[in-house]
């Protein structure tokens, strides 16, 4: 039996995705600096990848892969990655053209 999840990469990916979802939902991702082009999700992917390479283990590796996947998905579907600009795509401020 290998590492986390008994070595089953599908289970590991699912658990890594759950960790990513928790980090996004809880607001942890929004606390990271917004890096141009890669946004906050990309910054989280880089930090998690670094952690995985320096003792973070299988869960960190799959979480980093999940974050990178999410960043690529957002770029492909929305043309931007969460945190890439001042007003996030979730914010009405990004689309507010009214005055006053």
68-97 in b/e burial notation, b at 16+ Cβ within 10 A? bbbbeebbeeeeebbbbeeebeeeeeeeee
Distance of CA 78 to the CA centre of its chain: 15
Which of these, 61, 13, 21, lies nearest to 41 by C-alpha position?
A: 21
Reported residue count of the chain is: 100
User: Please, are residues 44 and 35 in contact by the beta-carbon 8 Å criterion?
Assistant: no
Domain of residue 40: give its range: 8-82
Q: What are phi and psi of 95, to 5 degrees?
A: -115, -5
pLDDT, tens digit only, all 100 positions of the chain: 345 445 567 777 777 778 778 888 898 888 888 888 888 888 888 999 999 999 988 878 888 888 888 888 888 888 877 776 654 444 434 434 455 4
In a domain, 28, yes or no: yes
In a domain, 75, yes or no: yes
The number of folded domains in the chain is: 1
In a domain, 90, yes or no: no
């Amino acid at each position: 039996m290998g590492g986390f999840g008994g070595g089953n990469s599908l289970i590991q990916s699912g658990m890594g995705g759950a960790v990513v979802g928790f980090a996004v939902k809880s607001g942890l991702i929004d606390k990271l600096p917004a890096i141009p082009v890669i946004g906050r999700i990309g910054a989280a992917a880089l930090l998690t990848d670094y952690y995985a390479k320096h003792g973070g283990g299988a869960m960190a590796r799959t979480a980093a892969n999940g974050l990178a996947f999410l960043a690529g998905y957002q770029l492909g579907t929305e043309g931007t990655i969460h945190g890439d600009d001042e007003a996030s795509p979730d914010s009405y401020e990004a689309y507010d053209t009214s005055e006053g």
